[in-house]
Amino acid sequence: MATIDANKPDLPAAGAKSHPLYWKNRGFAHHFRNADEQFDACKLGMWLFLTTEVLLFAGIFCAYAIFRMLYPEAWTAGSHHLDWRFGGLNTIVLLISSWTVASGVRSAQLGNNAALIRNLLITLVCAALFVFIKLYFEYIPKLSMGKAPGTFFSYPYAHDPHEPLWWSVYYIGTGIHALHVFIGAGLLTWVLVRAIKYEAYGPTEYTMVETSALYWHLVDLVWIFLFPLLYLIH
Amino acid sequence: MTTVDTTHELDHHDEGSYLTPKYGAMGTVWDWMTTVDHKKIGVMYLFAVLFMFFLGGVAALAVRLELLEPVRIAADGSITGQLFGGDGEAIATGNQVYNRLFTLHGAIMVFMFIVPSVPASLGNFFLPLMLGAKDVAFPRLNLFSWYIYVSGSIFGIASIVLGGVDTGWTFYTPYSTTTDADHWRVLLMVLAAFVLGFSSILTGLNFIVTTHKLRAPGMGWFDMPLFIWAIYATSIIQVLATPVIGITLLLLIFERLFKVGIFDPGLGGDPVLYQHFFWFYSHPVVYVMILPGMGIISELLSVHCRKQIFGYRAIAFSSLGIAAVSFIVWGHHMFTAMGELASTIFSALTFLVAIPTAIKVFNWIATLYKGSIAINTPMLYALSFLFLFSIGGLTGLPLGALATDLHLHDSYFVVAHFHYVMMGGTVIAFIGGIHHWWPKMFGRMYNEKAGMLGCVLVFIGFNLTFMTQFFLGTQGMPRRYASYVDEFQFLHSLSTYGSWFLLAGFLTHLFNFIHSLVAGPKAPPNPWGGLTVEWETESPPIEHNFHHEVLVKHGPYDFDTVVPPHCDERDFPLPPQDQVRAH
């Protein structure tokens, strides 16, 4: 919990403040002893959930490692088809979004709702940009050239018979990551809506901002591993 | 968490039992369907998993019925073929029906019954109560995971209704990715297991946070009942292992839908990789199945022989030890698919599991020593557990040793070992636990004589059914076959007769429970003289669990020095204090 005291008189007190979701009106669930305990519980819960997400991706990374060991040529050849500039651009986009979402948490802690909304909006724009680059410059051109996973692979100039497997790992890894981008963006949109409508987050109530931001950092983290392993190995 | 509640000091004196209906008939149904009360969710889980146990049990009885006769295939089809596949089925069809039946038995029992069984039902109900908390940390998530469980089960049942699956519950590739190509049945069953995994993860996550954050004041980690330690260790495995089966089954689904080739040797993929992934989850998960059972046994033995549990910390840490070791032994499911070195290492690691497990068993036996052992249904089940689980555990060692496993693997010895641990361990503990906590959950006593009769029937039936299978296995009867040579008939028919005893035992319990709900005498708050926190509240508990905020002043097993709450000292006398030794 932040060390800021909610009762300090110099905090902003603007807007329609009677709604139960307004952050100063928020209590905590009846089975917790106090708000700190609830916040800690929620945070621990999210960290545990992130652990499960890491383990989910661990399966994909494990498959990646094994097939790269078995078919190094296919991996080199496959990686040649990926443009590191798009991957790098997307890495920068996600890193910026991670920074803005962290700033969003800070804004909520300081009670600066306008900054929170601004930071969340930039984060969401970054998420959309990421998906756009992924789809428009990577998935669609590649799929139209036949660089598709498994038996759908029909690219005529393949160097290695195991390239279809490379594309399977590529699409599954980046695809499930993209799914997480959507889930994370969904969470942040929900936070954004509540911030705009009710000014729901402030120094004493920012659990949802913090946990959603944690989730978003995971999205970033997974990409940080996917990017070099897929784009930078040739 | 939007609830505004500033009345934490409020006494819940005028509150009724959580079972008291507050609305009309439809209102009550709606109330249960949308409840976030961990007790109601626990009860809903209890009925759901028991229903699944019934479905899986029917499949098991059919399998045993088929094996009553060595010659499965008369010209007019098999016994089960006649029951489930119609008359005049061809030989191959008879085999297919059998394969589907044992797959359904395995898939239902593992994914829909035994994994959620104890944690989701008894765990949900008693974890917060035993911690002195008002609810689990995330009540709405708890309800959500119940709905996930129900949807997953519906997928599974849909697959059965559409004709069933014959892959075995392990869904080994490449068979599982190529069979049933123009139907959705395998896909549905795999999807069911995938969805059920989420329910498992969320329940485990909820329990870990609850244990960390919601213990009552005065309850340190080593003041927790051992059932909580067991559930906690279980939850860690659920959270850490289940995501791996998630991605595995997802890859299997992709494999079927998009032919991605990860597990397809034709494209360079590796079917054994599937097995590694699968068992990286599914071996730890057998400890998800057994650990809560072990937790129940710690409670049952201590309360019903009125004695401080022997070696509290040893039992608590051995639960965590089992959880830790569980992650590094999966390779023993693939001894024949790995090199010599890897197999030897996995074999050695497998033996490690025996150490914390044996620590528990010895501590339980030491707990019984000089205790005042009550002969009632929970205690009979706890004693049954000690016998059956010890046999199950010890027969695991020859399967973990490479030389003997070469002879025993894929035989009925494996089937018998597995059932001694899972059924003789978990199911026995589960039923014992249901009896132990039945008065608390529903506020009614069950009939003790009928309960003990059921336990004796189950014990005899169980041994008859599965002891014979050890002998069948050592003589070379392979698992998963619908027919066998005539020499095996005597043992096979004994095994089938045993399954009928089991049925009789379970039906006895069922009628006993129904009778208890309808006409059982009202239960006192603390019928067994237990010292854990759940016995401090009423039977059944009030909606907010406790009248006052709980303050824990004594350990969960201090039977030597503490008179149990709501109990008369004449009923539960303390021993002469000069004989009480320090623990």
CATH of residue B484's domain is 1.20.210.10
pLDDT tens, A18-49?
888 888 888 888 889 889 999 999 999 999 99
For residue B571, name the pLDDT band (cuts at 50, 70, 90). confident
Residue A27 lies inside a defined structural domain of this protein? no
Question: Residue B24: CB partners within 8 Å, gap ≥ 6?
Answer: none
What local confidence, expressed as pLDDT, does residue B58 receive? 95
Residue A37 lies inside a defined structural domain of this protein? yes
**How large is the ipTM?**
0.90
Residue B11 lies inside a defined structural domain of this protein? no
What local confidence, expressed as pLDDT, does residue B13 receive? 56
Residue A71 lies inside a defined structural domain of this protein? yes
Tell me, rounded to whole angstroms, the distance of Cα B283 from its chain centroid.
Answer: 14
What local confidence, expressed as pLDDT, does residue B98 receive? 87
Give ∠ CA A117-A118-A120 in degrees, rounded to 5: 65
Q: Is the pLDDT of residue A229 over 80?
A: yes
Residue A70 lies inside a defined structural domain of this protein? yes
What local confidence, expressed as pLDDT, does residue A232 receive? 94
> Which of B208, B209, B236, B278 should one mutate to test binding to chain A, selecting the residue with the greatest count of A CBs within 10 A?
B209
- Distance of residue A94 Cα from the nearest chain B Cα, in angstroms: 24
Residue A217 lies inside a defined structural domain of this protein? yes
Across the interface, whether the CB atoms of B138 and A33 are under 8 A apart is answered no
Residue A15 lies inside a defined structural domain of this protein? no
Q: Which residue of B has its CA nearest to A49?
A: B205
Across the interface, whether the CB atoms of B134 and A59 are under 8 A apart is answered no
What local confidence, expressed as pLDDT, does residue B48 receive? 96
Full residue range of the structural domain in which residue A127 is found: 32-231
Residue B297 lies inside a defined structural domain of this protein? yes
> Which of A23, A31, A176, A194 should one mutate to test binding to chain B, selecting the residue with the greatest count of B CBs within 10 A?
A31
Residue B4 lies inside a defined structural domain of this protein? no
In terms of phi and psi (left: phi > 0; alpha: psi -120 to 50; beta: otherwise), the region of B5 is beta
C-beta separation of B249 from B194 below 8 A: yes
- Residue in A31, A60, A151 closest to B135 by CB: A31
pLDDT tens, B502-547?
999 999 999 999 999 999 999 999 999 999 999 999 989 999 999 8
DSSP per-residue string spanning B249-284? HHHHHHHHHH---TT-GGGT--HHHHHHHHHHHHHH
What local confidence, expressed as pLDDT, does residue B8 receive? 44
Full residue range of the structural domain in which residue B50 is found: 36-579
E strand residue ranges, A45-98: none
Structural domains counted in chain A: 1
Amino acid identity, position B568: D
Higher pLDDT, B117 or B96: B117
**Cα distance between residue B526 and residue B440, in whole Å:** 8
- Distance of residue B179 Cα from the nearest chain A Cα, in angstroms: 17
pLDDT tens, A145-187?
999 888 888 888 888 889 999 999 999 999 999 999 999 999 9
For residue B582, name the pLDDT band (cuts at 50, 70, 90). low
Checking B157-161 for CB contacts under 8 A at 24+ apart, the result is B157/B55, B158/B188, B159/B184, B159/B185, B159/B186, B159/B188, B159/B189, B159/B192, B160/B104
What local confidence, expressed as pLDDT, does residue B69 receive? 85
What are the chain A neighbours of B41 within 8 Å (beta carbons)?
none
Residue A17 lies inside a defined structural domain of this protein? no
Question: Residue A147 belongs to a domain with what CATH number?
Answer: 1.20.120.80
Strand, coil or helix: what is B411? strand
Question: Average pLDDT for residues B412-426, to the nearest whole number?
Answer: 96
**Cα distance between residue B67 and residue B77, in whole Å:** 14
Residue B398 lies inside a defined structural domain of this protein? yes
CB atoms within 10 A of CB A40: 18
- Residue in B2, B209, B250 closest to A41 by CB: B209
- Distance of residue A222 Cα from the nearest chain B Cα, in angstroms: 15
CB atoms within 10 A of CB B66: 24
Structural domains counted in chain B: 1
What are the chain A neighbours of B267 within 8 Å (beta carbons)?
150-151, 162, 164-165, 168
Residue A192 lies inside a defined structural domain of this protein? yes
Least confident of A172-181, A184-193, B401-410: B401-410
- Residue in B128, B243, B268 closest to A56 by CB: B243
Strand, coil or helix: what is A202? strand
